[in-house]
Structure 1
Amino acid sequence: MSDKVIPKNPSIISHVSVGTNDYEGARAFYDAVLPALDINIIMEHPGATAYGRLYPEFWVQLPHDGKPASVGNGFHIGFIAQNKEQVHSFYEAAIAAGAICDGPPGPRPLYGEPYYGCFVRDLDGHKIEAAFWDEALAATL
């Protein structure tokens, strides 16, 4: 029996999956982009890769039903950044890997004064975000 203590998962969801029509291309894109947020590969299966920090929270995969993947209008995935610098690193890595800008790094007061983030469209058109919530600023409001 192991004495290893497994930390409590701080996430509120088990995982999110996005479908792709080009698994190798999507895998290369997320392999290049997610390390900017200290997110790495946690597990792999044929045609599917899971990323996270401790747990497999974000999957990129070929659709299980064998039909083409499509993008859902209004759906997006927001990854947590630890600071503004990570938001910028994520954005720069995403653009360098072929993403399309959907909102450059910066404050978004509409989402709250402490919010700082960016939005890009991945190679399949999925909207992905890196967001930093400035707890120090939030405490002053």
Structure 2
Amino acid sequence: MLHHLSFGVTDLARSSRFYDAVLSALGYVQVWADDTAVGYGLCDREDLFAIKRRGAGARAPGEGFHLAFSAPSRDAVDAFHRAAVLHGGTDNGQPGLRADYGPHYYAAFVLDPDGYRIEAVINRCA
């Protein structure tokens, strides 16, 4: 359904360091960059997620919005959370099973440096 999504950020250098770390834990890489934005995905020039410098006008949506990144394993969810906290993110839910979402829903929740609510999740057996 979705082709890509982008966040407006206040400090592109800070945010790219954060997203380089957290998304690499999930197997995503920087697929393009310029002076105003950085794109992440799996293949060259094919971004699934981008951050765009918007300066002081950038605002994260409030309660009710979050972005969940697909993780290849529970270990990757754990690594995502560790990387987020080490690179300027704020814990918003330690890695673990979320029985309310299903018997195999393993996720971690953080706030990025601009306050965006993001998650890494794997929802399958084993």
* TM-score (structure 2 length as normaliser): 0.91
For 2:72 and 2:18, locate their aligned partners in 1 and report how far apart those are by CA, in whole Å.
21
SS at match of 2:94: strand
Percentage of matched positions with identical amino acids: 36
| Cα shift at 1:53 | 1.3
For 1:45 and 1:111, locate their aligned partners in 2 and report how far apart those are by CA, in whole Å.
38
1:30 corresponds to which of 19, 39, 55: 19
1:1-141 → structure 2 map (5 Å cutoff): 12-54=1-43, 55-63=46-54, 68-73=57-62, 74-134=64-124, 136=125
For 1:125 and 1:131, locate their aligned partners in 2 and report how far apart those are by CA, in whole Å.
19
For 2:119 and 2:38, locate their aligned partners in 1 and report how far apart those are by CA, in whole Å.
19
User: Any runs of at least 4 consecutive aligned residues in structure 1 with deviations exceeding 4 A, and if so which?
Assistant: none
Structure possessing the higher radius of gyration over alpha carbons: 1
The answer on whether the counterparts of 2:99 and 2:105 sit within 8 Å (CA) in structure 1 is yes
If asked which structure has higher relative contact order (CA below 8 Å, sep 6+), I would say: 2
Unaligned 5+ runs, structure 1: 1-11
* TM-score (structure 1 length as normaliser): 0.82
The answer to which structure has the higher strand fraction is: 2
